[in-house]
Amino acid sequence: MDWITKWFGKGQSSKDSAKQRLKLVLVHDRATISPHLIEALKEEIMDVIRKYIEVDDSGLDISLDESGDSVALLANIPIKGLRRNSNPANSM
Amino acid sequence: MLSKVIVITSGKGGVGKTTTVAHIGTALALMGRKVAVVDADIGLRNLDIILGLENRIVYDLVNVIEGTCKLNQALIRDKRVGNLYLLPAAQTRTKEAVEPEQMKALCHSLRETFDYVLIDSPAGIEGGFRNALAGADSAIIVTTPHVSAVRDADRIIGLVEAAEKGIPKLIINRLDIEMVKKGEMLDQDDIVDILSIGLLGIIPEDPAIVTASNRGESVFNNDKSKSAEAYRRIARRIEGEDVPLLDLDDNHSFLGRLKRILTTNIG
């Protein structure tokens, strides 16, 4: 009965689902970043943030989130307080 | 000419790397180039049986690397295609018997004698693949139009690029044109779109390949074989010629089209 669904245009050919599934899985496959790189990225991001905000380093969490059809860089950075003078040019 | 060392690899096993190496090697040799095909799948030797040279092996790649014999003692000349030589893999050893540096040195020595050195890589992304890649200037990735093979090809492309061997070229093997026409198989545009690398050629599904490998021959003996023509064109592209892709569809007649429309909707 496959052809009926095709005839009415509701069905998807198997090659289309192959392509769709592959594209999705490759987004995830390609997003594997080495722990070393994540660590370096974390340090640099934190250096910038520390200029403006007092942060709690122990509660810090930076990771790649792979949900749905996209990959996102998620950073959870607990804030202790804002710096009184948050203009980095002045504080230096 | 400056000799070229090319590794043929895939990630996934069983997609036709060995058959591809044998046929591209033969095609280049028939064009008058001096070609060495190297079986880098240590412990799972197969290029010899595909080429029909399995009874002529005395020494192998590991013997050369360990200095048990000279390079030219291990090279087997294909009597039917004079310019083609095989360096067989060791069968009773493991991949650990070879280091990447030793493969580099081996490829360097082969360059002195040959126009082309084609390396048949083992499946996988571990030591054996690293060895096969070590001495190569560039890589050819073989995939079939199956999701598992395409996914593994993507992984291998990343590893080849990370090893600074440039962007590899793609060969799509075993494309079944009838399934493609029904929309039941990924076609070349889909695969190129997904992997975003340049296409070197498409080999159609061809029973003549099985027949030829049963006999230890190449498909070039078979005039009607479409895959033979596809391999010839790949060899010419490797030589730098601009050759159009082979038209795999010979169902251009009115009846052929009618049949296609009917089978698409009924099947």
pLDDT digits (tens, 9 = 90+) for B114-142: 999 999 999 999 999 999 999 999 999 99
Chain A residues within 8 A of B158 when measuring between CB atoms: 30
> C-alpha distances in angstroms, B181 versus A2, B56, B153?
16, 44, 24
Interface predicted TM-score (ipTM) of this complex, two decimals: 0.81
CB contact under 8 A, B154 and A21: no
Average pLDDT (B40-60) is 96
| CA–CA min distance B4, chain A (Å) | 30
Label residue B260 by pLDDT band (50, 70, 90): low
Residues 6+ apart with CB under 8 A from B30: B81, B83, B220
Average pLDDT (A52-66) is 80
Place of tokens 């790397």: B17
In the prediction, which pLDDT does A92 show? 47
Rounded to whole angstroms, the Cα distance separating B158 from B50 reads 29
Average pLDDT (B232-251) is 92
Name B5's bridge partners: B117
> C-alpha distances in angstroms, B40 versus A63, B48, B49, B99, B162?
39, 12, 14, 12, 20
Residue B16 pLDDT more than 80? yes
Residue B32 DSSP label: T
Name the residue ranges covered by the structural domains of chain B: 4-266
CB contact under 8 A, A23 and B180: no
In the prediction, which pLDDT does A89 show? 56
CB contact under 8 A, A18 and B187: no
Q: Residue B133's closest CA among B163, B108, B162?
A: B163
User: Which residue of A6, A13, A29 is in closest CB contact with B265?
Assistant: A6
Residue B3 pLDDT more than 90? yes
CB contact under 8 A, A13 and B154: no
Residue B246 DSSP label: P
Q: Is B262 on the interface with A (CB under 8 A)?
A: no
Inter-residue contact B83 to B33 (CB < 8 Å) = yes
User: Which residue of B154, B186, B193 is in closest CB contact with A18?
Assistant: B186
Q: Chains A, B: CB contacts under 8 A, how many?
A: 44
Label residue B112 by pLDDT band (50, 70, 90): very high
Residue B80 pLDDT more than 50? yes
CB contact under 8 A, B155 and A29: yes
Query: If you compute the radius of gyration of chain B from its CA atoms, what whole number of angstroms results?
Result: 19
Label residue B8 by pLDDT band (50, 70, 90): very high
In the prediction, which pLDDT does B267 show? 45
**Tokens matching residue B64:** 């050369």
Q: Is B266 on the interface with A (CB under 8 A)?
A: yes
Mean pLDDT (chain A) is 76
Average pLDDT (B221-239) is 95
B191 to chain A: closest CA residue:
A19
Which long-range contacts (C-beta less than 8 Å, at least 24 apart) are formed by B64-73?
B64/B106, B65/B97, B65/B98, B65/B102, B65/B103, B65/B106, B66/B97, B71/B106, B71/B109, B71/B110
Label residue B156 by pLDDT band (50, 70, 90): very high
Could you tell me which residues of chain A have a Cβ less than 8 Å from any Cβ in chain B?
2-3, 6-7, 13-16, 18-19, 21-23, 25-26, 29-30
Q: Residue B206's closest CA among B231, B176, B236?
A: B176
Task: Please determine, looking at this structure, whether the domain spanning B4-266 carries the CATH number 3.40.50.300.
Answer: yes
Rounded to whole angstroms, the Cα distance separating A38 from A64 reads 9
In the prediction, which pLDDT does A91 show? 47
Q: Summarize pLDDT for B177-216 with one digit per residue, the tens.
A: 999 999 999 999 999 999 999 999 999 999 999 999 999 9
Chain B residues within 8 A of A2 when measuring between CB atoms: 267
Strands B84-87 and A70-76: unpaired
